Amino acid sequence: MEPKCSICGSPAVAYEHTIRAHLCGTHFTEFVERRVSRTVEKYKMLRGVKRLVVAVSGGKDSVTLLRIMHKLYGEHLELLGVTIDLGISGYSGGCVEAAVRNFEALGVEYRVVRLGDYGFSIDDVNLLNRRRVLRRPVCSVCGMVKRYMINKVALELGADAVATGHNLNDLLLFSLMDIMSASFSELSKLRPKTPTSGKLISRVRPLIFLTDKHTLLYALLNNVPFNPADCPYAPQRGIRVDLLRALDKVEEGNPGFKLALALGMLKLAGKLHVPEAQEGIGECKLCGMPTGSPGLCSFCKLRSQVLRAREVVAPEGQGSSA
Ligand code: Q46
Ligand code: ZN
Ligand code: ZN
């Protein structure tokens, strides 16, 4: 027999083990939105926030975030959307398109910022790595680039905070990797909300207690367009992939494990000493954005490295196949 919604008796679309209930589409949607609003309230994410930038990559997490923030808070907040074109061929175009479709469908004012405007792309970083003129893991470069660009545009837009679509899996992966590498100062920054510090705009993560299965089903049930493609640089194997599989396996036999682990990690992070607004102590000599080290910020350092490295390979380096 088809399972029925434990609340209303309609055909169920999901079993939510953390509340031990089968849920129909309507009640699943309500469950997800309630979890977001409780997270926002628990960590006072929107206290003092009038202008909120939602960073939308175009994937299922960020489009779900935009839809929910618009639905729950759109009337009380000035919502602005930002999406970044990272220049990943066969992927970035679909991401930007999905993000823009969502902004326009909701009537949210938005900006598309392009890494190409700085003279390089994530494809360039990958190509230079392959040619061994650069040794920077693509995803860590990409993460830094996104943080920089989102903060910069949020500052230009006069935002009080930036909301990002990091989910439960992201939180667990980041924290476990930080522990593994004894990066306790990184772990201490693992907060659902980080405050504004100088030119570093506050970050809030309303989806940290939802998994990607939640966001996928929410997007599908609510006709939220998203780019279903995977980034070509997303790791297919390695410790992160294995860790996620292992976490899901434990969760299967022990419903609620991931949520409990996330809460434990957040408590642990909360007890660690946060290094004094490290990144905000100085300003980049080139772009004026915050930096923890004297001279150039990480983004400007990377940019000059990439532009220099590209000159080295330019003569025979035409055509940038990934
Ligand atoms: S976009 Fe960028 Fe991800 Fe692609 S290159 Fe890696 S970090 S996998 S979320
Ligand atoms: Zn129902
Ligand atoms: Zn800079």
CA of 36 to the centre of ligand 3 (A): 34
Write the CB contacts of 63 (distance below 8 Å, at least 6 apart in sequence).
Answer: 56, 98, 99, 102, 219, 224, 225, 226
Structure tokens at 274: 């946060």
| Ligand 1 atom at minimum distance from 140 CA | 7
Indicate the top mutation candidate among 92, 231, 241 to test ligand 1's pocket, ranked by most ligand atoms within 8 A of CB.
231
How far is residue 125's CA from residue 88's CA, in Å, rounded to a whole number?
10
- The residue contributing the CA closest to ligand 1 atom 1 is 231
Does any ligand 1 atom lie closer than 6 A to the CB of residue 138? yes
Q: Which ligand is nearest to the CA of 221?
A: 2
- The residue contributing the CA closest to ligand 1 atom 6 is 139
Does any ligand 1 atom lie closer than 6 A to the CB of residue 115? no
Burial of residue 142 (CB within 10 Å: 0-12, 13-18, 19+) is buried
CA distances 303 to 63, 122, 127, 200, 282, Å, are: 29, 11, 14, 20, 19
Does any ligand 1 atom lie closer than 6 A to the CB of residue 173? no
Handedness of CA 312, 313, 318, 322 (dihedral sign): negative
- The residue contributing the CA closest to ligand 1 atom 8 is 234
> b/e per residue, 60-91, with b = 16+ CB within 10 A?
bbbbbbbbbbbebbbeebbbbbbbbbbbbeeb
Does any ligand 1 atom lie closer than 6 A to the CB of residue 144? no
Q: What does the radius of gyration of the chain's CA atoms come to, in whole angstroms? A: 20
Does any ligand 1 atom lie closer than 6 A to the CB of residue 142? yes
How far is residue 81's CA from residue 75's CA, in Å, rounded to a whole number?
15
Does any ligand 1 atom lie closer than 6 A to the CB of residue 322? no
Q: Which ligand is nearest to the CA of 27?
A: 2
Does any ligand 1 atom lie closer than 6 A to the CB of residue 241? no
Indicate the top mutation candidate among 123, 139, 167 to test ligand 1's pocket, ranked by most ligand atoms within 8 A of CB.
139
How far is residue 195's CA from residue 161's CA, in Å, rounded to a whole number?
8
The pLDDT averaged over each successive group of 10 residues in the chain (322 residues) is 94 94 98 98 97 98 98 96 97 98 98 97 95 91 97 97 97 94 88 93 97 96 97 92 95 92 94 63 91 91 92 58 40
pLDDT at 315: 52
pLDDT at 317: 45
How far is residue 204's CA from residue 164's CA, in Å, rounded to a whole number?
6
Identify the H or E element spanning 113. Answer: strand 109-114
How far is residue 142's CA from residue 72's CA, in Å, rounded to a whole number?
30
CA-nearest of 200, 201, 199, 198 to 163 is 201
Structure tokens at 124: 């360039």
pLDDT at 110: 98
CA of 284 to the centre of ligand 1 (A): 25
Q: Please report which residue ranges of the chain form alpha helices under DSSP H.
A: 25-42, 60-73, 92-106, 122-130, 138-156, 168-180, 184-188, 212-221, 239-253, 257-271, 298-313
CA of 235 to the centre of ligand 1 (A): 9
